Amino acid sequence: MGEFYWALAIGGVGAVLGMLYAFNGFAEPMDLKRSARMRNLLWLGFGAFLVATGDWWRFASAPDAGFLLASYLLGATAGIIFALLTIVSFLALSIRQANHLRGGIDPVPYSLLVDYLHHGYAHYQQMRAKHDEARSVRQAQADQ
């Protein structure tokens, strides 16, 4: 039973680091030198390295490092997926609400979610502002 608690604790640490990776890493635009995604990925990798090379045999109930590494990576993957699904869900709800307020006229495209995943939140905001600006220009031209 002790192995389960060790795996749960190490998996929880991986999940927290995975969520931090996703929440922080997708906030900035992609620039490989100063990218938050790369910095956070290094933190995830460093945590995996510590789990894999740790002297776990000092603790009487600790399982082997391979089992702990698997639970860490599984927790990190689950944390990343959970965080990205949460963010994308809120962005999709925001787009849906904007489209509902517009009454189906010139809707905001859901393809902006893919822009967010590829380029980050700053790019998503720029593309959404560009789409909103183009809509106001079309409205102004239609009113004349």
Q: Which residue has the higher pLDDT, 5 or 29?
A: 5
Is 25 exposed, middle or buried (CB count within 10 Å of its CB: 0-12, 13-18, 19+)?
Answer: buried
CA distance linking residue 7 with residue 25, whole number of Å:
26
CA distance linking residue 48 with residue 84, whole number of Å:
21
Domain boundaries, the chain: 2-143
Q: ∠ at Cα 82 (123, 101), nearest 5°? A: 55
Is the backbone of residue 105 left (phi > 0), alpha (psi -120 to 50) or beta? beta
Task: Check residue 57 and report its DSSP letter.
Answer: G
Determine the pLDDT at residue 44.
82
pLDDT at 17 over 80: yes
| 45-101 residue pLDDT tens | 888 888 877 766 666 566 777 788 888 889 989 998 998 899 889 989 988 888 888
Of all residues in the chain, the percent with pLDDT exceeding 70 is 86
Please report which confidence band the pLDDT of residue 3 belongs to, taking 50, 70 and 90 as the band edges: confident
